[in-house]
Amino acid sequence: MSPITRRGICLVLSAPSGAGKTAISEALLASEPRLRRSVSVTTRAPRPREVEGTHYHFLTEAAFAQAEREGDLLEWARVLQGTHAYGTPRKPVEAALAAGDDLIFDIDWQGYRALRQKLPNDVLGVFILPPDLATLESRLKGRGGDSDAEIARRMRTARDEMSHADEFDHVVVNEDLSRAVDDVRAALHAARSATARLTGLTSFIQGLSG
C-alpha cells in the first residue's frame, strides 16, 4: 500500500448481460484489499439468503422517496416496469472516499452518468465488451433458463448499452477473463496514483525533504 494518503475511487463496471462483468468484479474484490462493493438501497423485498447491509439496504417506498427528495441518493432508477427502485446512498460513498477506500459499482450507463455528475472527480468508468455478438449470445444461452424471446430481448438491450461505451474512461474486451481482470486492475491502479487523488502528497514530500 502506498505510504501517501489518497482519496478513494468509485470504480464503475458497466456491461451488457453476458459480457462477464460479475466475474471480473468478483475477481477484483477477492484480490484488492482496499476495494469493496458499494451496497445499494432498494424497495424490493429481500430474496432468500440476502442479508440487510451486505447485499442491499432494504427500504420502504416512503423511505426511498424521502431519501431521493432530500438528496441522499447519488443515483437511482426504477426497473421492471417501475415496480422496484434501486439507488446509491450518498453518505457511505463519501465516507469511503474520504477514508481512501475504493468502491466498485454494478450500474448501467445511466447510473454511471448520474454518479459522475454528482462526483465528477471521483468516478472511474470501465465498460466491458464481449469479443463479438456471437460469443455474447452463446454466453447468454449457456446460462440456461431463458426462452429464445428473452435471449433476443437481451441481445437488443445489449446493442443499446454498447452504444454508450464511448462515454466511459476505459473499454475492456473480455475475450479472456484473466486478461480482462488484469486490464481493469491496471486502470484502477493507475487512477489510484493520479496526482489529483494524492491528498497526502505535499506532506509526504515535505517529510522526504527533512
Domain locations along the chain: 10-203
Q: Which of 199, 185, 193 is nearest to 32 (CA)?
A: 185
Q: Are 137 and 152 in contact (CB under 8 A)?
A: no
What is the per-residue pLDDT for 81? Answer: 65
Give the number of other Cβ atoms within 10 Å of residue 192's Cβ. 20
Rounded mean pLDDT, 7-23: 96
What is the per-residue pLDDT for 48? Answer: 93
Rounded mean pLDDT, 156-172: 97
What is the per-residue pLDDT for 20? Answer: 95
Higher pLDDT, 187 or 209: 187
Output DSSP code: residue 120: T
pTM of the model: 0.92
Can you spell out the DSSP letters for 84-96?
EEEEEEHHHHHHH
pLDDT in tens, 104-159: 998 999 999 999 999 999 999 999 999 999 999 999 998 877 889 999 999 999 99
What is the per-residue pLDDT for 204? Answer: 94
Q: Are 112 and 123 in contact (CB under 8 A)?
A: yes
Q: Are 115 and 2 in contact (CB under 8 A)?
A: no
CATH number of 10-203: 3.40.50.300
Rounded mean pLDDT, 154-182: 97
Q: Which of 132, 147, 131 is nearest to 180 (CA)?
A: 131
